[in-house]
Amino acid sequence: MRKQFPALAYFTECYLHQDFDLLFGGFPGVLAAYLDQETSEEQKQLIQDIEDILTSDMSEVELEHLFFEKFDCNYDYLQHFTDSRAWLSSILEQIKP
């Protein structure tokens, strides 16, 4: 799945690792750091990866497995969002120009 969604894998593994809350002060800080540090090309690829997942037929169980197992995401977005698609939609709203 890393090859299918490389920018999303990069985002979760580099920004949502086990110390993300210490480094960025929480998820809003993650997005701010990402937008500040990554190139516009990388951001465009993340937008594309998210849009591809949002239009895919992946189930919620598959999405949670993708993020928590395959991409090693340490942010438990399910505490703040109803499901994976709601979380991804929220990211998209904040990073899409």
- What's the pTM? 0.91
Please classify residue 12 by burial: count the beta carbons closer than 10 Å to its beta carbon, then call 0-12 exposed, 13-18 middle and 19+ buried: buried
Per DSSP, 5 falls in state S
Q: 1 lies in a domain?
A: no
Q: 56 lies in a domain?
A: yes
At what angle are helices 84-95 and 27-37 packed, to 10 degrees? 40
For 47-60, what is each residue's pLDDT tens digit?
A: 999 999 999 999 99
Q: 61 lies in a domain?
A: yes
Instruction: Give residue 80's domain range.
Output: 6-95
Are 70 and 2 within 8 A, CB to CB?
A: yes
The number of C-alpha atoms within 13 Å of 93 and in the hemisphere containing its C-beta is: 7
For 59-89, what is each residue's pLDDT tens digit?
A: 999 999 999 999 988 899 999 999 999 999 9
Say what the pLDDT of residue 82 is: 97
pLDDT classification of 11: cutoffs 50, 70, 90: very high
Q: Other C-beta atoms within 10 Å of 93: how many?
A: 8
Percent of the chain with pLDDT over 70: 99
Domain count, the chain: 1
